[in-house]
């Protein structure tokens, strides 16, 4: 489960990472990785500081961040629900499970629930094809997941938050 970092700590961590950089442009990607590792994403309000550190324009830094899909520009959800979208699970009720998950979380795949607590993501085979449909909540694998079981698992995840 991801922990949220207070805004003041984000600024302090970003400043420390940028200050430790040589400022040479070959260090831009390592610094972006360090920011995402430390903070969970590359804060948009730090783009101006990143640009200044590397003597680049804000547009150039923004271009690099958006070119690499790996980099996030918003805080990740604290919890992740992954629904298997591979063939065996689809043929065993995976589509209905996904539709139920979208309705229960109030968001589509690749999006966050309204409260930002959960991300809903696809995954392609969890090695549990014989007990489909399968899903994960955070690091926990679940098989033979019905909509009713999904609701119980989601309630348990909310309790644990
Ligand atoms: S297809 Fe879903 S676990 Fe293999």
pLDDT value at position 2?
63
Q: How many whole angstroms from 143 Cα to the centroid of ligand 1?
A: 9
92 lines ligand 1 (CB under 6 A): no
89 lines ligand 1 (CB under 6 A): yes
Do 109 and 98 touch, CB atoms closer than 8 A? yes
86 lines ligand 1 (CB under 6 A): yes
Quote the pTM value. 0.72
pLDDT, tens only, 28-46? 999 999 999 999 899 999 9
β 79-84/118-123 pair status? parallel
160 vs 1: CA distance, rounded Å: 10
- Residue 88 CA: which ligand 1 atom is closest? 1
119 lines ligand 1 (CB under 6 A): no
84 lines ligand 1 (CB under 6 A): yes
Our mutation pick for probing the ligand 1 site, out of 92, 131, 132, 142, counting the most ligand atoms within 8 A of Cβ, is: 132
**Partner residues linked to 122 by β-bridges:** 83
80 lines ligand 1 (CB under 6 A): no
pLDDT, tens only, 91-121? 999 999 999 999 999 999 989 998 889 999 9
**CB contact set of 69 (below 8 Å; sequence gap of 6+):** none
pLDDT value at position 1?
66
Q: How many whole angstroms from 89 Cα to the centroid of ligand 1?
A: 5
pLDDT value at position 47?
97
126 lines ligand 1 (CB under 6 A): yes
């Amino acid at each position: 489960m991801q922990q949220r970092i207070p805004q003041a700590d984000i600024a302090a961590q970003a400043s420390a990472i940028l200050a430790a950089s040589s400022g040479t442009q070959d260090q831009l990607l390592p610094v972006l990785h360090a920011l995402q590792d430390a903070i969970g994403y590359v804060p948009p309000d730090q783009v101006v500081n990143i640009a200044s550190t590397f003597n680049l324009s804000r547009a150039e830094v923004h271009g690099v961040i958006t070119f690499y899909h790996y980099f996030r520009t918003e805080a990740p959800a604290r919890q992740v629900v992954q629904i298997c979208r591979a063939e065996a699970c689809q043929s065993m009720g995976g589509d209905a499970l996904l539709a139920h998950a979208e309705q229960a979380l109030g968001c589509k795949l690749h999006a966050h629930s309204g409260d930002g607590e959960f991300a809903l993501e696809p995954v392609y085979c969890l090695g549990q094809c014989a007990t489909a449909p399968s899903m994960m909540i955070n690091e926990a694998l679940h098989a033979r997941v019905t909509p009713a079981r999904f609701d119980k698992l989601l309630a348990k995840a909310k309790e644990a938050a």
